[in-house]
Amino acid sequence: PPAEEKFEFQAEVSRVMHLIINSLYSNKDIFLRELVSNASDACDKKRFLALSSGTDGGQPEVFVKADKEKGTITVEDSGIGMTRQELINNLGSIATSGTSKFVDALGENGSGDMNLIGQFGVGFYSAYLVSDSVQVVTRSYTDPNAKQYRWESDAENSFIIREDDSEPFKNGSGTRIILHVKEGCKEFLENYKLEELMKRYSEFIQFPVYSWASRTEYDEVPDGDEKDAEGKQKMKREPRTVEEWSQVNKLKPLWMRKPKEISSDEYSAFYKTITKDFSDPLAHTHFAVEGDVEFRALLFCPKTLPSNLRQNMFGDQGSLLKLYVKRVFISDKFEDLLPRWLVFIKGVIDSEDLPLNVSREILQKSRVLRIISKRLVRKSVDMFKAVKARDNNDFEDFWAQFGRYIKAGIIETDDHTDDLMKLALWPSTQSQEKLTDLDGYVSRMKESQKDIYFVAADSRAAGESAPAMERLRKHGYEVLFLTEPVDEMTVQKVITFKTKRNADDKDDTMFKFVDVTKDDLDLGELKSDEEKKEDKALVEEYKAVVEYFQKLLSDKVGKVQVSDRLTESASTITQSSFGISPTMERYMKEVGS
Ligand code: ADP
Ligand code: MG
């Protein structure tokens, strides 16, 4: 390649940079979080490569230092570095799918939440929140013949790449990012200020992170010509400022510590670091499994649906837990650690058994993985149960965000069905606003009632007006509204719900789910011989009418018959007990199967 070459930013990247540079966003600190997180990712990648190829890449480290005279901040890591082509691709020429999503999230004038930048995979550009020009010096670990390169841009639609002969990297590879701090951001040129930010942002980084810190030391020096009583030279203490690298983070990974000794603030802060979410998690579960298969896990349930799941229920990539093997980060791209209905769970798994060079293929076939995965599912379900047991609205909030995943879990697996059904909440005729769980429903069942009744409809209003509801209302029976496509599949899958009818019952009773609109609805009403005779006579009397409608509607309905189910309406349309219902068709479409 030529010694120096100029490249245009991809259009979407230009747009992101433009929004960042002109942003009035006041929380500019986040640039350091993003750059240190990139440095840490680069260290992860290098350590992984070094270990799996049996070589020593040296201890990966991160250094951050401000230089007031030059007006620069430097963030340097001894990580994997970038080749020339990677520099071109990663920093400007190729937009990721997140780039345009981030532009959308920020809105026309860029007034949206800049804090989200890391979630969209464009964190690097946050450097331009505080600088008007940025240089990236880097040398790749992957190519032993790699040259050192410099990327440089003042964000005017283009960047330059050239060979670089500035200071080489101590361990042979790494990346040095030099920010030329712009007017109005000079406060970041104070090392103590950077250190303060780093304490906050790099607490959970697994590699030593250093800031350039000054501290005062005292020297004993002669105090003029003064002598003390014994005739010895009198001394005094003289202050001297020492500047040196000082490590800002503790190194023990959070998941290796004892749960009892970790505060909820620490859990929250850790969650935010690994997820780039900025609200606290709703719940966590932290446990170690010993014996045949050994691992530690720390799982979190977010408060709200992660952004990568907003458009596509199960996301594009499956669940992205971070997998470590003996403290070494392996990947956050193994999708098979959790089933897809738990795709929203975040966290860290650290295995003692898997090989370091574990590949997707190995992992998929591994018995260890199956055991780990089973445990993770069990613990996730327990975590949801614990949220439900809380004395507040947390579970309702959880349900609003993740209820359909729980229903998908009921449909797609055969484990934990009873537990998941007990968690599930449904709208019912009992209350306009509040949802009920099935235990609540059963506790309100009438003496004469045998089954759990539901009506499947597009909306609650449509369900309310189903003609069959009249008879149930008359009996005072509560009816569940299944308004989501998955609802109906859920009850069709489980068929029954098992629970105690009365709190002091010894055994569970099986309650059947019964669709009130199906044509064989049996409310267990007993008819006298007299009434049965009357029914027969009615059928006889309306024979001609029935035949007439049967003919008229022959291509629209399966069967026309006289019914005793209506008390006020003249006619109703029902489903046969065996047909696929419209809601079910909607579910199949929604989950794309
Ligand atoms: P993300 O970190 O989400 O991928 P960024 O915009 O922060 O998005 O970074 C873009 C890409 O640039 C990274 O994926 C990585 O390939 C590369 N990169 C950034 N900083 C470094 C670094 N310090 N060392 C090596 N590669 C880096
Ligand atoms: Mg990043």
Tell me what ipTM this predicted complex has: 0.99
How far does the centroid of ligand 2 lie from the alpha carbon of residue 164, in Å? 24
244, burial (CB in 10 Å: exposed 0-12, middle 13-18, buried 19+): exposed
The backbone region for 28, taken as left when phi is positive above 0, alpha when psi lies in -120 to 50, beta otherwise, is alpha
Give me the mean pLDDT over the 29-50 stretch: 93
Q: Is 443 assigned a ligand-binding role in the annotation?
A: no
Give me the mean pLDDT over the 16-33 stretch: 90
pLDDT for residue 56 is more than 80: no
pLDDT for residue 377 is more than 70: yes
86 compared with 235, residue with greater pLDDT: 86
Ligand 1 atom 1: the closest Cα is on which residue?
Answer: 121
pTM above 0.95, yes or no: no
Ligand 1 atom 17: the closest Cα is on which residue?
Answer: 90
Q: What is the secondary structure of 80-104 as a DSSP string?
A: ----HHHHHIIIIIS--HHHHHHHH
Q: Is 285 assigned a ligand-binding role in the annotation?
A: no
Question: Do residues 99 and 125 touch, judged by C-beta distance below 8 A?
Answer: no
End-to-end CA distance of the chain: 49
Q: Is 98 assigned a ligand-binding role in the annotation?
A: yes
Q: Is 430 assigned a ligand-binding role in the annotation?
A: no
pLDDT for residue 572 is more than 90: no
Instruction: State CA 99 to chain mean position distance.
Output: 19
Torsion of CA 99, 105, 111, 117, to 10 degrees: -50
List residues bridging with 180 in a β-sheet.
Answer: 72, 133
Ligand 1 atom 19: the closest Cα is on which residue?
Answer: 38
3-state SS assignment for residue 166: coil
pLDDT for residue 526 is more than 60: no
Q: Is 38 assigned a ligand-binding role in the annotation?
A: yes
Q: Which of 20, 90, 120 to mutate to test the pocket of ligand 1 (most atoms within 8 A of CB)?
A: 90
Instruction: State CA 556 to chain mean position distance.
Output: 46
pLDDT score at 223: 86
Q: What is the secondary structure of 338-368 as a DSSP string?
A: S-GGGTT-EEEEEESSS-TT--HHHHHH-HH
Q: Is 22 assigned a ligand-binding role in the annotation?
A: no
Ligand 1 atom 4: the closest Cα is on which residue?
Answer: 121
- Could you tell me which of 555, 551, 558 has the C-alpha nearest to residue 579? 558
Percent of the chain scored above 70 by pLDDT?
94
pLDDT band at 1 (very low <50, low <70, confident <90, very high): low
Tokens 């000794």 label which residue?
261
pLDDT band at 353 (very low <50, low <70, confident <90, very high): confident
Ligand lying closest to the C-alpha of residue 126: 1
pLDDT score at 576: 62
- DSSP code for 190: -
448 compared with 338, residue with greater pLDDT: 338
Ligand 1 atom 9: the closest Cα is on which residue?
Answer: 124
How far does the centroid of ligand 1 lie from the alpha carbon of residue 448, in Å? 66
Report the atom number in ligand 1 closest to the C-alpha of 79.
Answer: 24
Give the Cα-Cα-Cα angle 113, 114, 118 (nearest 5 degrees). Answer: 115
Ligand 1 atom 10: the closest Cα is on which residue?
Answer: 90
Give me the mean pLDDT over the 191-196 stretch: 94
Ligand 1 atom 13: the closest Cα is on which residue?
Answer: 90
Ligand lying closest to the C-alpha of residue 122: 1
pLDDT band at 510 (very low <50, low <70, confident <90, very high): very high
pLDDT score at 585: 65
Report the atom number in ligand 1 closest to the C-alpha of 39.
Answer: 23
Strand locations in 252-402 (E): 283-289, 295-301, 322-325, 328-331, 346-351
Torsion of CA 26, 177, 60, 62, to 10 degrees: -40
Half-sphere exposure of 245 (CA within 13 A, CB side): 11
Q: Is 97 assigned a ligand-binding role in the annotation?
A: yes
- Could you tell me which of 299, 347, 292, 353 has the C-alpha nearest to residue 326? 353
pLDDT tens by residue, 439-461: 999 999 998 888 999 999 889 99
pLDDT for residue 364 is more than 80: no
411 compared with 528, residue with greater pLDDT: 411
Min mean pLDDT across 30-34, 153-157, 313-317, 531-535 is at: 531-535
Report the atom number in ligand 1 closest to the C-alpha of 120.
Answer: 3
Q: Which residues lie below 8 Å from residue 487, measured CB to CB, with a gap of 6+?
A: 407, 426, 454, 456, 583
Backbone dihedral angles phi then psi of residue 9, each to the nearest 5 degrees: -65, 145
- Please write down the long-range contacts of 370-374, taking CB distance under 8 Å and 24 or more positions apart: 371/292, 371/293, 372/289, 372/293, 372/295, 372/297, 372/337, 373/336, 373/337, 373/338, 373/339, 374/415
Percent of the chain scored above 90 by pLDDT?
54
pLDDT for residue 566 is more than 80: no
pLDDT band at 499 (very low <50, low <70, confident <90, very high): very high
pLDDT score at 591: 63
pLDDT for residue 167 is more than 90: yes
CA–CA separation, 343 and 320 (whole Å): 8
Edge-to-edge strand list for the sheet holding 431-437: 431-437, 425-428, 479-482, 452-456, 509-515, 496-499
Q: Which residues lie below 8 Å from residue 482, measured CB to CB, with a gap of 6+?
A: 426, 454, 455, 456, 457, 463, 488, 491, 583
Q: Is 90 assigned a ligand-binding role in the annotation?
A: yes
CA–CA separation, 114 and 58 (whole Å): 35
Q: Which residues lie below 8 Å from residue 534, measured CB to CB, with a gap of 6+?
A: none
Provide residues with CB under 6 Å of ligand 1.
34, 38-39, 41-42, 77, 79-82, 90-91, 121-124, 175
Q: Is 308 assigned a ligand-binding role in the annotation?
A: no
Report the atom number in ligand 1 closest to the C-alpha of 121.
Answer: 3
- Could you tell me which of 350, 263, 262 has the C-alpha nearest to residue 298? 350
How far does the centroid of ligand 2 lie from the alpha carbon of residue 467, in Å? 57
The average confidence (pLDDT) of the chain is 89
Give me the mean pLDDT over the 61-69 stretch: 96
How far does the centroid of ligand 1 lie from the alpha carbon of residue 479, in Å? 54
How far does the centroid of ligand 2 lie from the alpha carbon of residue 28, in Å? 16
pLDDT score at 517: 81
Report the atom number in ligand 1 closest to the C-alpha of 38.
Answer: 20
CA–CA separation, 2 and 44 (whole Å): 31
Indicate the pairing of strand 346-351 with strand 322-325. parallel
Ligand 1 atom 23: the closest Cα is on which residue?
Answer: 39
Question: Do residues 437 and 423 touch, judged by C-beta distance below 8 A?
Answer: yes
Tokens coding 157:
């639609």
Q: Is 175 assigned a ligand-binding role in the annotation?
A: yes
The backbone region for 217, taken as left when phi is positive above 0, alpha when psi lies in -120 to 50, beta otherwise, is beta
Q: Which of 41, 89, 161 to mutate to test the pocket of ligand 1 (most atoms within 8 A of CB)?
A: 41
pLDDT score at 525: 65
Ligand lying closest to the C-alpha of residue 121: 1
Ligand 1 atom 15: the closest Cα is on which residue?
Answer: 90
CA–CA separation, 302 and 307 (whole Å): 11
3-state SS assignment for residue 318: coil
Ligand lying closest to the C-alpha of residue 176: 1
Question: Do residues 566 and 472 touch, judged by C-beta distance below 8 A?
Answer: no
Report the atom number in ligand 1 closest to the C-alpha of 80.
Answer: 25
Residue type, 273: T
519 compared with 236, residue with greater pLDDT: 236
Q: Which of 17, 20, 34, 38 to mutate to test the pocket of ligand 1 (most atoms within 8 A of CB)?
A: 38
* For the ranges 99-103, 131-135, 199-203, 461-465, the one whose mean pLDDT is highest: 131-135
pLDDT band at 589 (very low <50, low <70, confident <90, very high): low
Q: What is the secondary structure of 465-517 as a DSSP string?
A: T-TTHHHHHHHT--EEEE-SHHHHHHHHHH-EEEE-SSTT-SS-EEEEEEETT
